[in-house]
């Protein structure tokens, strides 16, 4: 169905895939530069030279309440499972740049073609006939974003595909670190909580692997340790990593604690957040141990793994800078891919 | 999280709370004048001098198919439970004034942060990062609107919080009475049906208590009588009220019959609308008893408690003036709070 | 509630109902020319002289990424059951012409008035107070579109009413045939699959009955044959029709195969698509038998009744021309009814 002749190919987003990560993804089959499928697709150079500076410009646009740079551009947000926060961020990013959402659904699975047994390819082909400039896709099935991209003329932005990836979350996370420290090289980060099933820490690990001298402390209960595929990846990319079950051991010297939530909806059973067998939550005691210029991150939604008293801490960025970064990064991606 | 320095404080909407009503609400903690949390928050003076005249202007704008007074202004409608009618009224009010809805969800509870255990405060803080000019909030939990307002920089419009309040409904009801009779002082109103659980009659009673010489006839089955908190409020505000179980006794002399629906979704069992033990429905017989210049109101949706033959009666305003008032009042609130 | 004085009556859309079809519909009660309720409402002359040429113009507008012809016009899409594809097509059609969707819901039944027992008439009257230029209505109950039209000042576009009609689907189907063959007279079409419960083939049969020398081959399992009401209609309109259970018998000489899906959601049990007792699916073998200038149509969503290898066939139009026709036809209807 593809017609590469009519597609404007841009060289601004070089696909410097490093060959790691999802076996599903074969970049020989990658359709077009506009697609955002998985974190490892984006090189360090592109992040530093393109994404971060553009995101920074976007923040000044937000401060001015928006621009009309994408006037006339059209987004479809097509969500097979609900994700209010992600959908809001994408739709508001489009609105901030003067573009418009021409169709939006958050319950596609309830009644759409897939519910009736249709393949996602049919759906994507149909949506393409409506001439969107971008399709933001959220699905329940790993690999759907890639399947959609292979067949879509409009760029596909993966807004999460099941247990697969959520690449724009990882981008906003590294952008937040960059903003706070001026660099990502040499950073020391503790990832805490449900590392086995948390999609965000996995995607973030892929991106951090592209930088130098990064140290990762993996802080999780024994049964929720980071899986081997990521650890192998980190080894290949010379990322130092350590595993522990006590946040107190690492809090005093890391630059970042990236806290995650037990993934109950993916089968993780509740575990003691603070007990003799481990220390996996952030409370004022942990925050008090941290360096003055460290930060506390969380992809949200947050349950009890960060106590609410911590919110007021200047180092807590999960309800402020991270949200702003999400908007700025998604605006940047839209601007780079859809703008002139 | 609040920064009162950057918030423009307007004195156009004085909070003349009379100290009655919800114990939850402590106006010492009230964040900002833009919030619309509960009916008793709004003084008679503000209603008469600000709300009603502005709503009247809004009706002329509707007749001209809208204005651009709120061009560039942004609304988020965030509904944790569905309410098509209320959401439509708010979103179309914003559209009528040239503003836009930058994000809308009607099933937030199914998949958003709250569903995953997150506190509504996190959600409101996140939404605030997107720089909305107003957040219209519908929740399932009494007090959520207040909790949201305490932490939100953007004004919170309460579009119903569980068994709590639905203040804009009460405003449109008093505005409808004002339009029809030119005054609210001295009005005689029968409230009929499920007075124990009906949220709208409770909010309306709060507003009527601010006027003079109002008489309320409470017409309900014994087990669905108006609760004591409201009756105490009415006594304190010198509102005459009577209780009865027969609409025929009051229909001939009241100015307004405000009819309500059995609140099945809140546990009210069906009761006989017309029987030996009482008379709680409006049929042509009841309508035929009413004064020529009286009106029949209902907050909708309507079941059998107003028979369909009554719809054609000139005095029936529930499918016409009340809907128009709802749009005009919500436009007025947006204009007053968001306009220059 | 109707006020014919304020309604601008247009004579552009003569109602040349031929008296056939739904008993529900009495055109003496038909409210206004803008309503689109059922396929048989539209004469051949109107289709050929108005609809098709306007749809053709719309395709040039799509190629130019839209117009502002309907700037300021307002659509409400009110869906009591989900239909992502239909809602997208209508909303994007409105957007393409510069109009806007002022309110949209896809789950009206979950929480709206009808769920609480309210009649659809109340809902339509309420929506009319918001001054929409058109209401696109999808309901679960046959006849709802007519009931809505009787009481609505705004034109009602029926986007499917239960087991009733889906007239814009039939229009896009005949428009697709017209585009491909330059004519509809004399066409030979095989309708295959679940003919008993498929709403689209029923509506399409009504429209084809208005043309000359049309031949229809009805290819279905015995228990899913086209029902007698449609066959009687075809007889009265001099449409030749034949019944068979083998697509191979007709594939070599028909101009069109219109394939349909087993209507599982309406109680059709799965049947063998290819077996000794019949041949009801399109695979490369069937496609290979077809004439060079024939086409393969399907209303989507598609399951296994068209094998995916067939998608690449030049004659397959279900993922391309039919979708384009749907957008063009809906734009044309909006332009004709709402434009100056």
pLDDT tens digits along A121-177: 899 999 999 999 999 999 988 889 999 999 999 999 999 987 778 899 999 999 999
Specify whether C116 is catalytic: yes
Confirm if C223 and C213 have CB atoms less than 8 A apart.
no
Q: In angstroms, rounded to a whole number, what is the distance separating the alpha carbons of residues C152 and C148? A: 6
Average pLDDT estimate for A173-187 = 97
Helix axes B321-338, B84-96, angle to 10 degrees: 50
Residue A301: cis peptide before it, omega within 30 degrees of 0: yes
Quick one: pLDDT band at residue A19, thresholds 50, 70, 90? Answer: very low
The answer for residues whose C-beta is within 8 angstroms of residue B46's C-beta and 6 or more apart is: B13, B14, B16
Quick one: pLDDT band at residue C25, thresholds 50, 70, 90? Answer: very low
Can you read off the two tokens belonging to residue B91?
A: 């979103």
Higher per-residue confidence, B4 vs C151? C151
Average pLDDT score over chain C = 87
Task: List chain C residues with CB under 8 Å of A125.
Answer: 319-320, 323
* C259: enclosing H helix or E strand: strand C256-259
Quick one: pLDDT band at residue C32, thresholds 50, 70, 90? Answer: low
Rounded-to-5 percentages of helix, strand, coil across chain A: 40, 15, 45
Task: List chain A residues with CB under 8 Å of B126.
Answer: 85, 300, 319, 323
Average pLDDT estimate for B92-100 = 98
Specify whether B330 is catalytic: no
3-state secondary structure of A46: helix
Residue B33, pLDDT score = 66
Is residue B68 in a domain? yes
Residues of A serving a catalytic function are 85-86, 116, 138, 166
Neighbouring CB atoms inside 10 A of A117's CB total: 13
**Residues C75, C152 share a domain:** yes
| Interchain CB contact of B100 with A (< 8 Å) | yes
Task: List chain A residues with CB under 8 Å of B111.
Answer: 81-84, 106
Specify the length of chain C in residues: 340
- Of B339, B338, B333, B334, the closest CA to residue B46 belongs to B333
Is C81 within 8 Å of A111 when comparing Cβ atoms?
A: yes
| Interchain CB contact of A105 with C (< 8 Å) | yes
- Taking only residues 305 to 334 of chain B, the set having a beta carbon closer than 8 angstroms to any beta carbon of chain C reads 308, 311, 319-320, 323-324, 327
Q: Which among B106, B107, B303 has CB closest to C118?
A: B303
Specify whether B210 is catalytic: no
Lowest mean pLDDT among A34-43, B5-14, B205-214: B5-14
Q: Is residue C299's pLDDT more than 90?
A: yes
Task: List chain A residues with CB under 8 Å of B72.
Answer: 65
Q: Is residue B21's pLDDT more than 60?
A: no
Is B92 within 8 Å of C103 when comparing Cβ atoms?
A: yes
Q: Is residue C169's pLDDT more than 70?
A: yes
Instruction: Compute CA A11 distance to the chain's CA centroid, rounded to the nearest angstrom.
Output: 23
* A14: enclosing H helix or E strand: none
ipTM above 0.85, yes or no: yes
Quick one: pLDDT band at residue A32, thresholds 50, 70, 90? Answer: low
Is C323 within 8 Å of A100 when comparing Cβ atoms?
A: no
Average pLDDT estimate for A240-264 = 95
Is C131 within 8 Å of B323 when comparing Cβ atoms?
A: no
The answer for residues whose C-beta is within 8 angstroms of residue A282's C-beta and 6 or more apart is: A192, A247, A257, A259, A296, A305, A306, A307, A310
Specify whether B138 is catalytic: yes
Is residue C1 in a domain? no
When divided into structural domains, chain B yields a total of 2
Q: How many CA atoms lie within 13 A of B65 on its CB side?
A: 7
Q: In angstroms, rounded to a whole number, what is the distance separating the alpha carbons of residues A315 and C204? A: 64
The answer for residues whose C-beta is within 8 angstroms of residue A240's C-beta and 6 or more apart is: A213, A214, A215, A216
| Interchain CB contact of B108 with A (< 8 Å) | yes
State how beta strands A278-279 and A274-275 pair: antiparallel
Is residue A260 in a domain? yes
Can you read off the two tokens belonging to residue B136?
A: 């219209």
Residue A118, pLDDT score = 52
Can you read off the two tokens belonging to residue A223?
A: 């049964």
- Of A265, A43, A299, the closest CA to residue A140 belongs to A265
Lowest mean pLDDT among A252-266, B172-186, C52-66: A252-266
Task: List chain A residues with CB under 8 Å of C62.
Answer: 131
**Chains meeting C at 3+ CB pairs closer than 8 A?**
A, B
**Residues C181, C159 share a domain:** no
| Interchain CB contact of A180 with C (< 8 Å) | no
Q: Spell out a b/e string for B10-44, using b for 16 or more CB atoms within 10 Å of the CB, else e.
A: eeebeeebeebbbeebeeeebbbbbbbbbbbbbbb
Q: What is the pLDDT of residues B28-67, one digit of tens each?
A: 334 456 899 998 888 999 999 999 999 999 999 999 999 9
**Residues C16, C160 share a domain:** yes
**Residues B177, B110 share a domain:** no
**Residues A109, A46 share a domain:** yes
Residue B47, pLDDT score = 94
Residue A33, pLDDT score = 66
Residue A199, pLDDT score = 83
**Residues C160, C86 share a domain:** yes
Is residue B4 in a domain? no
- Considering the entire predicted model, what is its pTM? 0.91
* Range list of H helices, A76-166: 84-96, 108-111, 120-129, 144-151
Residue B32, pLDDT score = 57
**Residues C157, C194 share a domain:** no
**CATH code (residue B84):** 3.40.50.1370
Q: Is residue A17's pLDDT more than 50?
A: no
**Residues C234, C133 share a domain:** no
Is residue A2 in a domain? no
Is C106 within 8 Å of A105 when comparing Cβ atoms?
A: yes
Average pLDDT estimate for C4-33 = 39
Q: Which among A92, A107, A301 has CB closest to B118?
A: A301
**Residues B156, B189 share a domain:** no
Q: In angstroms, rounded to a whole number, what is the distance separating the alpha carbons of residues B137 and B148? A: 9
Percentage of chain A surpassing pLDDT 70?
87
Q: In angstroms, rounded to a whole number, what is the distance separating the alpha carbons of residues B33 and B15? A: 7
Instruction: Compute CA C216 distance to the chain's CA centroid, rounded to the nearest angstrom.
Output: 18
Q: What is the pLDDT of residues B246-276, one digit of tens each?
A: 999 999 999 999 999 888 777 788 888 988 8
**Residues A126, A109 share a domain:** yes
Is residue A127 in a domain? yes
Q: Which among A85, A95, A107 has CB closest to B102?
A: A95
- Of B20, B48, B33, the closest CA to residue B206 belongs to B20
Is residue C3 in a domain? no
Task: List chain B residues with CB under 8 Å of A265.
Answer: 116
Higher per-residue confidence, B249 vs A106? B249
Average pLDDT score over chain B = 87
Q: In angstroms, rounded to a whole number, what is the distance separating the alpha carbons of residues C213 and C187? A: 7
Average pLDDT estimate for C54-78 = 97
**Residues A261, A195 share a domain:** yes
C-alpha distance from B301 to closest chain C C-alpha (Å): 5
The answer for residues whose C-beta is within 8 angstroms of residue B267's C-beta and 6 or more apart is: B197
Question: Which residue out of C29, C64, C65, C116 is catalytically annotated?
Answer: C116
Confirm if A120 and A127 have CB atoms less than 8 A apart.
no
**Residues A266, A329 share a domain:** no
Q: Which residues pair with C189 in a beta bridge?
A: C216, C256
Q: In angstroms, rounded to a whole number, what is the distance separating the alpha carbons of residues B126 and B112? A: 12
Q: Is residue C134's pLDDT more than 80?
A: yes
- Residue keyed to tokens 């929409």: C132
Domain hosting A34: range is 9-164+323-338
C-alpha distance from A125 to closest chain C C-alpha (Å): 7
Q: Which among A62, A65, A84 has CB closest to B105?
A: A84
Q: What is the 3-state secondary structure (H, E, C) of B106-139?
A: CCHHHHCCHHHCCCHHHHHHHHHHCCCCEEEEEE
Is residue B197 in a domain? yes
C-alpha distance from C92 to closest chain B C-alpha (Å): 17
Is B92 within 8 Å of C130 when comparing Cβ atoms?
A: yes
């Amino acid at each position: 169905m593809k017609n590469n002749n009519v597609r404007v190919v841009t060289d601004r987003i070089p696909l410097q895939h490093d060959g790691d990560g999802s076996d599903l993804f074969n970049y020989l089959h990658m359709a077009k530069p506009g697609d955002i499928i998985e974190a490892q697709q984006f090189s360090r150079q592109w992040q530093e030279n393109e994404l971060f500076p553009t995101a920074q410009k976007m923040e000044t646009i937000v401060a001015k309440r928006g621009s009309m740079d994408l006037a006339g551009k059209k987004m479809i947000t097509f969500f097979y499972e609900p994700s209010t926060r992600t959908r809001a961020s994408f739709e508001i990013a489009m609105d901030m740049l003067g573009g418009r959402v021409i169709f939006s659904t958050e319950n596609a699975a309830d009644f759409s073609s897939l519910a009736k047994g249709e393949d996602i390819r049919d759906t994507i082909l149909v949506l393409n006939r409506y001439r969107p400039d971008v399709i933001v896709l959220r699905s329940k099935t790993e690999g759907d974003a890639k399947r959609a991209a292979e067949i879509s003329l409009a760029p596909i932005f993966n807004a999460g595909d099941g247990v697969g990836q959520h690449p724009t979350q990882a981008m906003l996370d590294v952008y937040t670190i960059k903003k706070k420290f001026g660099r990502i090289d040499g950073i020391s980060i503790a990832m805490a909580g449900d590392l086995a099933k948390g999609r965000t820490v996995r995607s973030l690990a892929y991106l951090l692997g592209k930088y130098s001298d990064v140290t990762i402390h993996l802080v999780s209960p024994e049964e929720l340790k980071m899986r081997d595929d990521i650890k192998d990846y980190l080894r290949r990319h010379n990322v130092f990593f350590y595993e522990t079950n006590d946040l107190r051991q690492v809090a005093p010297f890391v630059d970042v604690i990236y806290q995650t939530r037990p993934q109950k909806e993916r089968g993780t059973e509740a575990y003691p957040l603070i007990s003799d067998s481990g220390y996996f939550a952030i409370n004022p005691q942990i925050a008090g141990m941290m360096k003055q210029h460290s930060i506390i991150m969380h992809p949200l939604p947050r349950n009890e793994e960060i106590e609410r008293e911590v919110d007021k801490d200047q180092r807590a960025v999960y309800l402020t800078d991270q949200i702003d970064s999400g908007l700025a990064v998604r605006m940047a991606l839209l601007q780079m891919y859809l703008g002139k």
